[in-house]
Structure 1
Amino acid sequence: MAATDEKADQAAIHAEALVAPVPTNNDDRDGDGDVKPATGLDATNLPNYDDAEAKRVLRKVDYRLVPMLMLLYLICFVDKGNIGNAKVAGMAKDLKLTDAQYNLALMIFFIPYCLFEIPSNIVLKMIRPSYWLATMLAAWGTVMTLHGIVHSAGGLIAVRFVLGLCEAGFFPAAAYLLGEWYCRFELQRRMSMLFVAASLSGAISGLLGFALELMDGIGGLEGWRWIFIIEGMFTVVVGVVLPWTLPDSPDLCSFLTPAEKLVIRQRLEQDSGTSAGHVQTGEKFQWKYLTSSLGDWRIWFTIFIFWGNTVTAYSFTYTAPTIILELGYTAAKAQLLTIPIYVTGAAFAFFIAWLADRHRIRWPFVVGPYTVALVGFLGIMATPKEKYPGVVYFWLFFIPGGTYAGVSTLVSWVSNNMSPTWKRAVGIGMCIMVGNMGGIVGTNIYLAREAPKYWTGYGISLAFLLNAICCTFVLRHVWNKDNKKRDRMSEDEIYAKYTEQELLELGDRSPLYRYVL
């Protein structure tokens, strides 16, 4: 009886709320000047946080948080991918690596990298993010430096395994941290900056590879060793200062006033897709968040979409310098010619993110960029490399831009459609953890015996991109169907069935919640 009475009370309270004015920044009024009640998710009642105060507070957050995460993500990808530059600079020859040993060194990184991403995100919710990320950076920077002193294939494989362990959890931690500050239709522009950094990392790696290779002979070390040593030392330095430079959360940061923190928190709590719905932001960990994520088939479909990036992008990052080298360029020029490819990709990823947030929709901006990458692979396969090396180089521009822009939208989509925050943390961790297992496939599909055609590598990349596009259409259909079903339910009917706390605990399964399409 008590639960029934509580639900009846909630229904009465919210029946009154339905006819009361709803605060909004839109001039959403009827002919009499009264605010229209919100009944569903459409263009007239989407949450709008474009008032001057919110913009001012967000600018403060942008200046402090986004550049730091961009720097960290740039470092992460440079350290992860510089083995391709080191190979071109002579590492494979000096260590007498076979093709199988080199591919194993690439692949072994992803095993611990994937397995420890969810545990890392659970730790992230228990301690200050800046402390946890600082620990990761200092650890993987040390391991990166040790790459410069290996003298055998076994040593290289060992340090790559430890590097994967140390880097595990960084990207889901960065994605989760952004979700702690920004509402759903503000997220992708900020998220895209991470992928801009990831794309620029290819350009930075090429430039650093070219410059550090010139240190050949200094200290009695080969140039490729200095690539690892210098970049690893820089990572350690950044990790040491991170607790003083990276904002943790709206509640713990020092650069916002109490009133500004309240603005951030209230906006996040009301960001459920309707003006009446709320989401929790401070709930404690419960095992149901882990089990619900593992059992949610929609999360698995986001993983299949993620593979459209990891299988293609990781394999491309490790192989691009070699592909360009085989077009007839010198090793030094091959390093430099990767730069414009990744700069273009970074600009495209940011442009797609701006469009996705502006139009408040996600699925077209997964399908479109992945199609661009798909066209790039088709162009490479159809162009005779011996006759038209410049045309092949042109098609290379399509791949980083398409894959990074597509996965940037995907990660924002996953974050947008998962609530409460613990489920988001575990769900993002799971998506990225299993999604990064695509790197295991990607590091083994470019077979040296197939050079310069690489039919297996290009063909498998095409298959994963096509699968990702199909899965995107499936998710769009399912989430749209759920939204329409919830639109048919009135709020007084909902509150007659659920208490406020039950609705909060339901998170994105609440009938008040609306999925982003």
Structure 2
Amino acid sequence: MNPNNEAPAGDTTHLTDPKIQSRLRKVADFQVLPLLLIAFASYQLDRTNISSALTGGFASAISVNQNTVNIGNQLMFLGVIVLEIPSNVILHRIGPRYWIGGQVLIFGFIAALQVFIRNRTGFLVTRSILGLAEAGFIPGAMFTLSQWYTREEITRRIAIFFFGMFGGTAVGPLLGAGLLTLDGKGNLSGWQWIFLGEMDRSVTVLILMEGIWTITVSFTLLLFLPERNSYEQPLESEKAPEGIDCAPKNLSGSKIPLKVIVETLTNVSKWPHFLATACVFATWSPLTTYTPSIIMSLGFSRVQSNALTAIGNMMTLPVVFFFAWLSDKTCRRGMTVMIAIMVYLIALICLRIIQPHVHVWSKFGLWTTVNALAVGYHPIHNAWIQMNSRSPEERSIEVATNELVVMCATAGLMAGTQIFRQEDSEGFYPNGLLIMIGLVLMGLILTALQEVIYYVQNSRVEKEARLTVLNIL
């Protein structure tokens, strides 16, 4: 008799038990996914609180200009790229519970230290260290999710996971609007209250406020984020593609061979994925940093500007979910990605052409629309890549692909920090918008190319399969 009620070694009959499958799915939907979503929201709050701080006079308080802010953000994204792969090597050795939980604790604390910034050097150093601390979180969390869902289920779950990022981006300006009203209280500026708010969510009651959000999130992850047992199999997939590796999933102790990373990187057929990710995602970087400042330049107060920015960011959530639903409904993920990018491109073109000729509220509406549509494609694009990782080393290839895609997205964000320059700020960045239009157009072309590549590859596979059947007959 087994006291732990575990299946004996070598016994796999439990893997298709509907009760086991149902239990695993409930754990995934009501424990794993919500915990990672909340952690992602905390991650994004700590990363983007600077956009609200800028409307509170942060740049002038530490004597830096907009171009220096751009450099600081570049250094942050560079830190993410530098430690992306080492971070995930650690994740695969010790498991997501301890590594992801520890990361949330660490980067929250570092983000909080921004309250002590006094000059340009302190700003650049703090942003660099923040990026190093955040490295590996997104691909690690996405891989953790892939351990719990079938390929038919993963697209919508990844979209929900990204609600954490987009939700954090949406909530950030609202928190900023509230905290900026504390300007002057306790001899602190409004921007310092913003960073103090993030500090509380970070790490310790030593730096007080009214909550301990991120430390609560980190300890919740450390205590309650479940690990997959070594004997447990993926949930049953009704339409598992031929060649899928069905070996048991055990995150802790697994490794990503350097050979697999090199092979994935040199797989030319996947390059359009990587390049499209960098091109389109680059345009989100200036929007998250400068939209509150842009709206403030329309004549709104700093508190109003942050509150109004949240509207476009909130609209991102139904946009993302709609495209995820469309992707699952049609099973045409590549086409869905292209439609989402096309809609965003049209919004950018309208903003660039119409903006000089309309009044304040129309300008606000145009910028809000662009923010709402800027990332509707992104979760589906990530899922599309995962669902086309087919090889004898399926799991390792999928992990390496996730890491490279996130690194490309981060590289795009790093480059995108320089799109909106201080000298282009008059007229609401007309040159920057042209650059964004060009990047999104290039991303659309690359996505279409990737769809063609998959079509050709799938046609070849189907032809070989038919010939094999005929030879057998």
TM-score by length of 2: 0.86
How far apart, in 2, do the equivalents of 1:486 and 1:227 lie?
Answer: 55
Taking every aligned residue pair, what percent have the same amino acid on both sides?
23
* Aligned-pair CA distance for 1:286: 3.0
Shift of 1:208: 0.6
Aligned to 1:448: 422
| CA distance, structure 2, for counterparts of residue 92 and residue 114 of structure 1 | 26
Q: Which of 326, 331, 339 is the aligned partner of 1:368?
A: 339
1:336 corresponds in structure 2 to 307
1:428 paired residue among 380, 383, 402:
402
Q: Which moved more, 1:206-215 or 1:306-315?
A: 306-315
Q: CA deviation at 1:119?
A: 2.1
- Is 1:246 the counterpart of 2:250 in the alignment? no
Deviations 1:265-288 (A, max 9, x none): 3626x86414x7544455754332
Matched, 1:305 2:279: no
Instruction: Indicate the RMSD between aligned Cα atoms, in angstroms.
Output: 2.5
Q: 1 CA distance for matches of 2:121 and 2:255?
A: 43
The residue type equivalent to 1:217 in the other structure is G
Q: Hey, what does 2:241 align to over in structure 1?
A: 273
Please name the residue that 1:286 is paired with. 257
Amino acid at match of 1:85: S
C-alpha distance in 2 between matches for 1:424 and 1:214: 46
> Of the candidates 211, 220, 235, which is equivalent to residue 202 of structure 2?
235
Confirm or deny: 8 A CA contact 2:67 2:422 kept in the other structure.
no
Within 2, Cα distance between the matches of 1:362 and 1:382? 31
In structure 2, the residue matched to 1:35 is none
Alignment of 1:43-442 (within 5 A): 54=21, 57-236=24-203, 237=215, 238-248=217-227, 250-251=228-229, 262=232, 264-265=233-234, 267=236, 272-274=240-242, 278-282=245-249, 285-385=256-356, 387-419=358-390, 420-442=394-416
Give SS of 2:383's match.
helix
Distance 2:222 2:323 in 1: 32
Taking structure 1 as reference, are residues 102 and 265 closer, same or farther at Cα in structure 2, changes over 3 Å only?
A: closer
In structure 2, list runs of 5 or more residues that go unmatched: 1-15, 204-214
Cα 1:471/1:491, change in 2 over 3 Å: same
Alignment of structure 1 residues 490-501 onto 2, 5 Å: 490=465, 493=468
Displacement after TM superposition at 1:488 (Å): 2.4
Alpha carbons 1:192, 1:405 under 8 Å: kept:
no
Show the 5 A alignment for 1:476-487. 476-487=451-462
Q: Is the 8 A contact 2:282 2:409 kept in 1?
A: no
Whether the 8 Å CA contact 2:149–2:234 is kept in 1: the answer is no
Q: 1:64 to 1:216 in 2, by over 3 A?
A: same
User: Which residue pairs with 2:206 in the alignment?
Assistant: none
Indicate the larger mover: 381-390 or 58-67.
Answer: 381-390
**Is residue 489 of structure 1 aligned with residue 461 of structure 2?**
no
Structure 1 stretches of 5 or more lacking a match? 1-48, 253-260, 497-517
Per-residue CA distance 1:104-150 (angstroms, 9 max, x = gap): 11211111111221222222211111111122111111111110011
In 2, the alpha carbon distance for the partners of 1:286 and 1:103 equals: 35
How far residue 54 of structure 1 moved from its aligned partner, in angstroms, is 4.5
More displaced stretch, 139-148 vs 219-228: 219-228
Q: Distance in 1 between matches of 2:240 and 2:300?
A: 53
* Superimposed CA distance per residue, residues 13-54 of structure 1 (whole angstroms, 9 cap, x where no aligned partner): xxxxxxxxxxxxxxxxxxxxxxxxxxxxxxxxxxxx9x8975
Amino acid corresponding to residue 71 of structure 1 in structure 2: I
For residue 333 of structure 2, give the secondary structure of its aligned residue in structure 1: coil
Q: Deviations over 1:305-327 (max 9, x none)?
A: 21244211111100110111112
Question: Matched residues in 2 for 1:267 and 1:158: separation?
Answer: 47
Residue identity opposite 1:466 in structure 2: L
Q: Using the alignment, how far apart are the partners of 1:480 and 1:179 within structure 2?
A: 25
CA deviation string 1:390-435 (max 9, x = no partner): 2222222333333322111111111112252122111110111122
After TM superposition, give the deviation of residue 196 of structure 1 in Å. 2.2
Measured at CA, do residues 332 and 277 of structure 1 come closer, stay the same or move farther in structure 2, by a change above 3 Å?
closer
Report the more deviating stretch, 350-359 or 153-162.
350-359
Equivalent-residue separation in structure 2 for 1:206 and 1:188 (angstroms): 28
Counterpart residue type for residue 218 of structure 2: G
- The counterpart of 2:438, out of the listed 457, 463, 475, is 463
> What is the TM-score normalised by the length of structure 1?
0.79
Contact map agreement 2:294 2:428 (CA 8 A) in 1: no
CA separation in 1, counterparts of 2:275 and 2:37?
26
**CA distances 1:68-98 after superposition (whole Å, capped 9, x unpaired):** 1111111111111110110101111211112
How far is the alpha carbon of 1:64 from its aligned partner?
A: 0.8
User: Structure 1 CA distance, aligned partners of 2:259 and 2:451?
Assistant: 25
Q: Quickly say closer, same or farther: Cα 1:271–1:115, change in 2 above 3 A.
A: farther
**What is the CA distance between 1:469 and its match in structure 2?**
0.9
SS of residue matched to 2:440:
helix
Contact map agreement 1:189 1:357 (CA 8 A) in 2: yes
Task: Give the conservation status (yes or no) of the 8 Å contact 2:327–2:336.
Answer: yes
Quick one: distance in 1 between partners of 2:350 and 2:79? 35
Moved more, 81-90 or 228-237: 228-237
What is the aligned residue count?
435
Match of 1:41 in 2: none
Deviation, 1:57, is 4.2
